[in-house]
Amino acid sequence: MSRIGKKPVPVPSGVTASIDGQTVTIKGPKGEKSFVLNDLVLAEMTDDGIKIDPLNSSKPARSMWGMSRTMVSNLITGVTDGFKKDLAITGVGYRAQVQGQNLQLALGFSHDVVYPIPDGIDIKCPKPTEISITGTDKQRVGQVAAEIREFRPPEPYKGKGVRYAGEFIVRKEGKKK
């Protein structure tokens, strides 16, 4: 039995939720999001919030149960608070800045890396070595952060590169004479 799936998703004040067949639509202060549930789960509105139940007790239905509940919960979190990922840049001369709809990164290459900011994502650089990515879709925020990190992942000898804030880089010892 799914322990997460058993809990109903609470709908806070200021947020409206509607269920039309397998489509769950959430409207909140930061916008509107919808998610199409798998055919193996059922959603219903209750006094406690949105309740997700498996269609039967088969393994695929139980697998979709907890995931579907989490996806609906993420929709509500996205339209109320939003999601945020922070990146840190380490290295001499490595820096980032937002120019219009592009993120310009100087990462030690012979040229600057220009990353176009996708719709629905907001990128800010409070310092030249920090990048803050915010948005209402958890998957897209994480994907954008991963794409930016991929330009220059942290290397194990000096730790230079783009890393997630709080990420620990396992350092290696260099050559010995």
Q: Of the CATH numbers 3.90.950.10, 3.90.930.12, 3.40.1670.10, 3.40.1350.10, which one belongs to the domain with range 83-164?
A: 3.90.930.12
3-80 and 83-164 share one fold: yes
Position 2 confidence tier, pLDDT thresholds 50, 70, 90: low
> Would you state the CATH architecture of domain 3-80?
Alpha-Beta Complex (3.90)
* pLDDT beyond 90 at 134: yes
The radius of gyration of the chain from alpha carbons, rounded to an integer in Å, stands at 21
Q: Is the pLDDT of residue 176 over 90?
A: no
**pTM for this one?**
0.88
Distant-in-sequence, close-in-space partners of 71: CB < 8 Å, separation ≥ 6: 35
What pLDDT was estimated at residue 111? 95
Assess whether pLDDT exceeds 60 at residue 1. no
Whether the Cβ atoms of residue 86 and residue 164 lie closer than 8 Å to each other: yes
